[in-house]
Chains A and B, each alone.
Chain A
């Protein structure tokens, strides 16, 4: 089947439009879903890290409150006189470190109202130092409770202290404890998450209060300004070097003006995002592929149906045109033949009359008599010749008298099948020939016989429509030749069978059949002395049988 360019471009256009309107929304939807997913994903990371910062800040608060509470209990339950004695303080410190090692107290000191370190229990030699000029001392004296920032102090090591003021008989005094920076660091760093995670504390001036993994050592200046973080736990997003996003969450402590910072790269969680994106892309691609395949297949089917329909229509148009043409031509031929026939008849008869007159004995004596007879013969010959021509023209319009030719039925059938082979092939119809050997040559009208075969084969093809088999078989039975043309179409409803030879009876769609084919065929075969039979074949289909008498041609 040839593909006309118009169908190709039609197919391309339909495919393009269908794909555009089906894939574009799909891709848009995919992009929107992915975007939403990323937002949700980021929000989840933020929530996670914010929650982490807040809970860790709470833990640090608890840590500080525990130690502050312990000191407050000691200050309330013991007197300055008792704790100011070095042995008693040593005993207490000993009890505390033995029973509550996890508290992380490094040392314990008692300072009197003048700032003198009256008693000290711990690893350093700090007894007797005067703290009266230290800021923390004045702060504790005025406020009653003090937690310091981390500082190096006399011992030249980063530490921080908790101090609580008590009231004794001889005025206020202070119980002071130093917190083990190792225990404190461990607590803060315990929240660190993932490969890139970090956790540390900074004071309002931006100095690190604990060692950070990435942000720096204790007492370094933090790269982040604490004022970026609000009252509530706040999350900030910063670009990281590897292209990922760094999420930084800060939560202020309640018991101290420290900011607990937890930070994490998105790259730790990005893998799950990438996996999700890959899955989505895979599904979308699968969907697109399905759409493309469905579109192409559907469009091909539709366009090829259309093409077939067009072909059928063209064929029908061609047939109609052909029929009109033949009808017009026939009419014209008949008209011309008729007009010529009348003068021809006169000429013929006049010539005959001259011949009759030439029979006169008086004329026979004339020397020109033979020449006159010869001339009349010529005239009659040529009238006969013209007569044959006009009769053939009239016969073209409508055949009347069967001419007697020497007819080889097998050959006529074969030639007729050949004529229709192409038409049948287009409709996927196979025509099989099953010809008997040694059929006698009979006297019949070849072109009329061909006309009959043509009608019957056309009927068979039309009955099948598409995809089928037609068998043409010839047999000699006694003094008859039988030609059976069998199709495997739907057959003829039994109630219609008696009417099939009626003129103008047709089972074909309006405009496709004149209803004259079988009627004329019937008449032609009758005139030849034969019979035309039509019956339903088993298991399905129709069989038309032409029965021709075996008439041996006369030898001329």
Chain B
């Protein structure tokens, strides 16, 4: 199985680094960006199989906007929304916009892996 490219987008650097490290340790090609703008720029540069996207981010561009951008540029990318904000509307909106799935932060890492696997199988 060829290495899968995963982009993690989260403004919480500690969280971002750790997730990236843990994914890499499991043999995935993962990289992280700390803002919506960077995420959009990175997606523009290269395709990713899965994007783990935090919904609530500062800096003028939140997860939903990034999601729209991704779906526009690379509709094949599977986006798993990470939300610490258990808001029905936002998650539902994300799902309607074509997100693959969503996870409530803090999540179980095993669950995250399961959802990534599911997204990759798609």
- Cα separation A341 to B108 with both chains bound (whole Å): 13
- Select B18's contact among A337, A349, A398, A400, beta carbons within 8 Å: A349
Q: Is the CB of B15 within 8 A of A400?
A: no
Decide if B15 touches A345 in the complex (CB within 8 Å). Answer: yes
Closest B-chain residue to A359, C-beta based?
B25
Verify if A395 is at the interface (C-beta below 8 Å from B). yes
Which chain B residues border A346 with CB–CB below 8 Å?
12, 14-15, 18
Which B residues are CB-close (under 8 A) to A345?
A: 12, 15, 84, 105-107
Q: Evaluate contact between A342 and B88: CB separation under 8 angstroms.
A: no
A350 to B19, CA, bound (A): 9
Q: Which of chain A's residues has its CB closest to B15's CB? A: A346
In angstroms, Cα B86 to Cα A350, docked, is: 22
* CA of A391 to CA of B84, assembled, Å: 9
Quote the shortest CB–CB distance from B58 to chain A (angstroms). Answer: 12
Q: A345-B12, A345-B15, A345-B105 are in contact. Are A400 and B88 (CB under 8 A)?
A: yes
Contact of B104 among A383, A384, A401 (CB under 8 A): A401
Which residues of B, 1-25, contact A by the 8 Å Cβ criterion? 12, 14-15, 18-19, 21-22, 25
Determine whether the beta carbon of A356 is less than 8 Å from that of B25: yes
A357 nearest CB neighbor, chain B only: B25
* Tally of B interface residues using CB under 8 Å: 21
B residues within 8 A CB of A341? 84, 105-106
B interface footprint on A368-406 (CB within 8 Å = 1, 0 otherwise): 000000000000000110010001001101101100000
Q: Which of B18, B22, B86, B108 contacts A394 (CB 8 A)?
A: B86
Report the nearest A residue to B21, measured CB to CB: A353
A485 contacts B by Cβ under 8 Å: no
**Nearest chain-A residue to B19 (Cβ)?**
A349
- Place the interface of chain A in its size category: 20 to 34
* A547–B101 alpha-carbon span in the complex (Å): 27
Bound form: Cα–Cα A369–B88 in Å: 42
Q: Assess the A398–B86 pair: CB atoms within 8 A.
A: yes
> CA A344 – CA B84 in complex, angstroms?
10
Q: Is the CB of B18 within 8 A of A344?
A: no
Given A345-B105, A346-B15, A387-B106: A338 and B85 within 8 A (CB)? yes
Asked whether A334 is an interface residue with its Cβ less than 8 Å from the other chain, the reply is yes
Contact assessment for B104 and A391 in the assembled complex, using a CB-CB cutoff below 8 Å = yes
Q: Does A349 contact B109, Cβ atoms closer than 8 Å?
A: yes
Residue of A nearest to B10 (CB): A345
On chain B, the residues within 8 Å of A352 by CB distance are 18, 22, 109
Contacts of A350 in B (CB 8 A): 14, 18
Tell me whether A400 and B109 are in contact in the complex, defined as CB-CB below 8 angstroms, given that A337-B86, A342-B12, A346-B12 are known contacts: no
> Are B86 and A342 neighbours in the complex by a CB distance under 8 Å?
no
Asked if A166 is an interface residue, CB under 8 A from chain B, the answer is no
The residue from B19, B86, B105 contacting A397, defined by CB atoms under 8 A apart: B86
Distance of A354 from chain B, by nearest CB (Å): 10
Cα of A391 to Cα of B83 in the assembled complex, Å: 11
In the complex, what residues of B have CB within 8 A of residue A347's CB? 106
Question: At the interface, yes or no: B87 with Cβ under 8 Å from chain A?
Answer: yes
The verdict on B77 contacting chain A, using a C-beta distance below 8 Å, is no
Asked if A383 contacts B88 (CB within 8 A), the reply is no
Task: Compute how far the CA of A400 lies from the CA of B84 in the bound complex, rounded to whole angstroms.
Answer: 12
Is residue B35 within 8 Å, beta carbon to beta carbon, of the partner chain? no
Query: Contact at B91–A400, with CB atoms within 8 Å?
Result: yes
**Are A349 and B91 in contact (CB-based, < 8 A)?**
no
Nearest-neighbour CB distance to chain B for A74, whole angstroms, equals: 140
Chain A residue with minimal CB distance to B102? A400
> A348 near B: Cβ within 8 Å?
yes
30 A-B pairs with C-beta separation under 8 A:
A334-B85, A334-B86, A334-B87, A338-B56, A341-B84, A342-B84, A345-B12, A345-B106, A345-B107, A346-B15, A346-B18, A349-B14, A349-B15, A349-B18, A349-B109, A350-B18, A352-B22, A353-B22, A356-B25, A383-B106, A384-B108, A391-B86, A394-B104, A395-B86, A398-B87, A398-B88, A400-B86, A400-B88, A400-B91, A401-B104
Having A395-B86, A398-B88, A401-B104, one finds 18 other A-B pairs with CB under 8 Å, namely: A334-B86, A337-B86, A338-B84, A341-B84, A341-B106, A342-B84, A344-B105, A345-B106, A349-B14, A349-B19, A349-B22, A352-B22, A353-B22, A356-B21, A356-B25, A394-B86, A397-B86, A398-B87
Which residues of A pack against B, CB within 8 Å? 334, 337-338, 341-342, 344-350, 352-353, 356, 383-384, 387, 391, 394-395, 397-398, 400-401
